[in-house]
Amino acid sequence: MRTTIALTTALTLLAPASPALASPALASPALASPALASPALALHRQAAPARAAVTAGSVFTSAAVTQGADGTYTISWQAPDAGNVTVTATTDASGGGTPRPVGSGGATGTLTASGLPSAARWYFRLVPANGVPLVVADRSLHLPHARNLRDVGGYRTADGHWVRMGVLYRSNKLSDLDQNDLTTLAADRIRLVVDLRNGQERRDAPDKLPAGASYQVADLIDLSKGLPTAPDLTLALLLALPRLLSSSEDAEQNLGYRLMVNAPSAQAAYHDLLTSLAAQPDPALFHCTAGKDRTGWGAAVLLTLLGVDRATVYSDYLASNTYYGADSVRANWLDAAFAEVDRSFGSFDDYVRKGLGLSDATIATLKSRLLTS
């Protein structure tokens, strides 16, 4: 009984959104910087999981889009071997459709796009004189009733590929969406929503789905899937104990993050999430209540699996401090999860294959679907 209570309590503590959290406008963008990760981050900058040898397809080493409050977009990039770069705007995530010219620049450039008509989302196609194009967008969808809803794409992998944008989204709960929000998500062709919340959360705040989307539950604390073995749970508690003396929140979160790695219910949930994403040909979204802990670890696992470097994984995780509220997440919480991966499985590859039970075919499909060629 004590084991059940400890597991349920620890994982449930990852669920609720605090009403005291600051709004995104008050959150400091500096909180999203990977530089704020604890010293343990340096220990986690190991190579990305092994993947088949490929030839890097992109000359872009960085690229980003930021939407201003006035409706303008700032597009910046670095591509040392690109030559001239031409930029167009489109509402098509693939970069097709009817492009609108924005401008051009050199291997390092910054442009501002203004006067674009209202659209669910604008994408920007960067076309280098040498190399293949890259499509990028502002990561946030700027939905007022789901402020932590953002694109998982737009990150460069260690071998020079990019995670596609407009394919996969992460979010906080969808129960507060209004019709405008739902129209935006429908326009982005989201066809699958995966809910990581527990039964009580789902009953208290049921999802509102965009038209045409199917719904799937991947409950991290479905105890019918089993409990961690006593040694795993005992060690997780002992590892969290020192922090309990100085910060109960740190202790709870460190325990919860470790259990997200070794609890059978959590392993089953992330297995279901990742296999569903691999099987879904259209854009998809996954979420929990705040979109920061259970969703944050899910995004960290996926990005690491795709070959994104650890510092960038931390940056995406810590961005909840900007989008959702100050001090929503802390780097040492993510440290705890990665440390548990190393302790329980020895490597990230073994965690993915043995802990989550992902097949080589599923991993290959995820990479094929989510990475640029």
Confidence class of residue 67 from pLDDT cuts 50, 70 and 90? Answer: very high
pLDDT in tens, 187-217: 999 999 999 999 999 999 999 999 999 999 9
Poorest-confidence range of 7-11, 88-92, 238-242, 298-302?
A: 238-242
Max Cα distance, the chain (Å): 65
Predicted structure pTM score:
0.84
Query: What is d(CA 358, CA 180) in angstroms, rounded to the nearest whole number?
Result: 37
Nearest to 372 by CA among 20, 129, 140, 125: 125
Mean pLDDT of the chain: 84
CB 206 within 8 A of CB 175: yes
Residue 362 tokens read as: 């599923």
Residue 308 tokens read as: 């994104």
Query: What is d(CA 18, CA 361) in angstroms, rounded to the nearest whole number?
Result: 40
- Select the more confidently predicted residue: 1 or 169: 169
pLDDT in tens, 293-352: 999 999 999 999 999 999 999 999 999 999 999 999 999 999 999 999 999 999 999 999
Determine whether 170 is exposed, middle or buried from the number of CB atoms within 10 Å of its CB (0-12, 13-18, 19+): buried
Confidence class of residue 251 from pLDDT cuts 50, 70 and 90? Answer: confident
Domain at 59-131, CATH from 2.40.30.40, 1.10.540.10, 2.60.40.10, 2.40.100.10: 2.60.40.10
Backbone angles phi, psi at 333, to 5 degrees: -70, -45
Q: Residue 359 forms beta bridges with which residues?
A: none
Confidence class of residue 25 from pLDDT cuts 50, 70 and 90? Answer: very low
CA quadruple 346, 352, 355, 360: dihedral sign: negative
Residue 342 tokens read as: 């190393």
Residue 358 tokens read as: 């992902």
Please state the domain extents for the chain: 2-57+140-370, 59-131
Confidence class of residue 245 from pLDDT cuts 50, 70 and 90? Answer: very low
Query: What is d(CA 248, CA 79) in angstroms, rounded to the nearest whole number?
Result: 46
Confidence class of residue 222 from pLDDT cuts 50, 70 and 90? Answer: confident
Residue 156 tokens read as: 């460069």
Nearest to 306 by CA among 294, 319, 316: 316
pLDDT of residue 44: 40
Poorest-confidence range of 83-87, 144-148, 244-248, 319-323?
A: 244-248
- Select the more confidently predicted residue: 97 or 236: 97
Mean pLDDT, rounded, for 229-247 = 50
Does residue 177 have a pLDDT over 80?
yes
Percent of residues, the chain, with pLDDT higher than 90? 72
pLDDT of residue 261: 95
CB 146 within 8 A of CB 172: yes
User: What's the chain's Rg over C-alpha atoms?
Assistant: 20
Q: State the fold for domain 2-57+140-370.
A: Protein-Tyrosine Phosphatase; Chain A (3.90.190)
pLDDT in tens, 26-46: 333 332 333 333 433 443 433
- Select the more confidently predicted residue: 234 or 362: 362
Contacts of 254 (CB under 8 A, 6+ apart): 239, 240, 243, 332, 333, 336
Query: What is d(CA 262, CA 350) in angstroms, rounded to the nearest whole number?
Result: 13
Query: What is d(CA 338, CA 359) in angstroms, rounded to the nearest whole number?
Result: 21
Confidence class of residue 15 from pLDDT cuts 50, 70 and 90? Answer: low
pLDDT of residue 42: 40
Query: What is d(CA 355, CA 364) in angstroms, rounded to the nearest whole number?
Result: 17
* Amino acid in the structure at residue 176: D
- Select the more confidently predicted residue: 228 or 314: 314
How far from the centroid of its chain's Cα atoms is residue 237's Cα? 27
Q: Residue 301 in 3-state DSSP? A: helix
Poorest-confidence range of 3-12, 74-83, 224-233?
A: 3-12
Percent of residues, the chain, with pLDDT higher than 70? 78
